[in-house]
Each structure stands twice: as C-alpha cells, then as structure tokens.
C-alpha cells in the first residue's frame, strides 16, 4: 500500500511539474500565429507566465485590420486535461452597437479531455447571459441566451435570429 501511494505521489508531482514548466508563452505565440491565418490579430501590453496560468493585460483584437474589441484582462489556465480561459471587461467596437450592446463583463471558456468534442463558454454582458456550446466534430454552434432588458428593448432585430424557447430564453443554432 505504501508503494502504491508513493507511485501516486510521484505521478501527481510529475503532472504538476509538467504543467508548471510548460512553455505557456511559446504556446501563446503559436496560437497568435495560427490566428493570423484567419485574419485575427491579438496585441497585448503585458504578458505574464505565473506558473499555472498565463495572464494577458490590455489586449486589442483586430479582424482584417479592423479593431473588433479591447480586453482588459485574459487569464489562460492550461492544465492539459482541463483548460480554461477567462476574459474580463471586454469593450466591443462601435461597429457592433447597431445589433448588440458593446460591453461584456466576463467570458469563461472551458475545454476538457473528458468531453473532447465540445468547447463550452459562459458569457455575461450588457446583452444578458449566454451559454455557448461548440461541437468541434460537427462544427455546430448552439447559443442559449437569456437577454437583458436592454437587449429586449433596443435590439429586437438581433433577437429575430434566435428561436424563443421559453418565457425569457432564446436559442440560436448554426452549422459551419
């Protein structure tokens, strides 16, 4: 029994050391290069590898040379088996003001090896609360939206793209 616990302890230590010493900045630069293939450019003022996470501060996101959003804080946690990205205080470009509010308070994105075909996101912003599920295999996006009062009053044209599923719940499904 003592031998098994030692093996288990060494295994846990190895996994934690692997995560801690994982070259997160190199993975970030690789992601940045891959995003450029899709005309997405991410610029940030500061990058910090804290051992178990990578933090980006004051990032600007461009698509096809047009500024799309300003982000205050991005926190990437790469745990190999369960990866998360938390984005705080996003200010969308004025281009989006015609179809949705410009402020997003928080975005939580999760990817787990337990459910490898799905990327799950939870978004809270001026538009309300959205739960997004992206199926990697089918390339299917499903959005469950609980709109805010502002969204219900000023952005009815956007809500027409959604299907009403409940009293205050809307759903959008798209396959790419």
User: Across all residues in the chain, what is the average pLDDT?
Assistant: 93
- pTM assigned to the model: 0.87
**Is there a contact between 76 and 85 (Cβ–Cβ < 8 Å)?**
yes
Please tell me the total number of residues recorded for the chain in this structure.
176
Distance set, CA 98 to CA 40, 93, 151, 162, 176 (Å) = 22, 11, 11, 17, 24
What is the Cα–Cα distance from 117 to 64, expressed in whole angstroms?
28
Mean pLDDT to the nearest integer, 24-45: 92
Q: Quick one: how far is CA 80 from the chain centroid?
A: 16
Model confidence at 95, in pLDDT bands (50, 70, 90)? confident
Question: For residue range 1-16, what is the model confidence (pLDDT) as tens digits?
Answer: 788 999 999 999 998 8
Distance set, CA 158 to CA 68, 104, 132, 155 (Å) = 18, 17, 17, 6
Mean pLDDT to the nearest integer, 100-126: 95
Mean pLDDT to the nearest integer, 73-91: 92
Q: Check residue 129 and give its pLDDT.
A: 97
What is the Cα–Cα distance from 57 to 40, expressed in whole angstroms?
18
Mean pLDDT to the nearest integer, 96-111: 94
Mean pLDDT to the nearest integer, 77-100: 91
What is the Cα–Cα distance from 61 to 68, expressed in whole angstroms?
6
**Is there a contact between 47 and 25 (Cβ–Cβ < 8 Å)?**
yes
Mean pLDDT to the nearest integer, 140-154: 95
**Is there a contact between 73 and 56 (Cβ–Cβ < 8 Å)?**
yes
- pLDDT reading at 27 higher than 90: no
């Amino acid at each position: 029994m003592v031998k098994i616990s030692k093996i288990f302890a060494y295994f846990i230590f190895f996994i934690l050391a692997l995560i801690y010493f994982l070259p997160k900045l190199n993975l970030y630069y690789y992601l940045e290069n891959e995003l450029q293939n899709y005309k997405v450019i991410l610029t940030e003022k500061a990058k910090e590898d804290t051992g178990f996470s990578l933090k980006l501060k004051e990032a600007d996101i461009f698509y096809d040379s047009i500024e799309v959003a300003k982000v205050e804080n991005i926190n990437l946690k790469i745990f190999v088996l369960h990866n998360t990205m938390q984005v705080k205080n996003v200010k969308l470009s004025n281009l989006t003001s015609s179809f949705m509010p410009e402020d997003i308070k928080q975005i939580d994105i999760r990817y787990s090896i337990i459910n490898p075909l799905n990327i799950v996101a939870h978004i809270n912003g001026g538009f309300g609360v959205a739960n997004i599920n992206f199926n990697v295999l089918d390339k299917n996006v499903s959005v469950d939206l609980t709109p805010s009062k502002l969204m219900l009053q000023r952005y009815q044209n956007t809500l027409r793209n959604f299907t009403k599923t409940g009293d205050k719940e809307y759903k959008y499904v798209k396959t790419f």
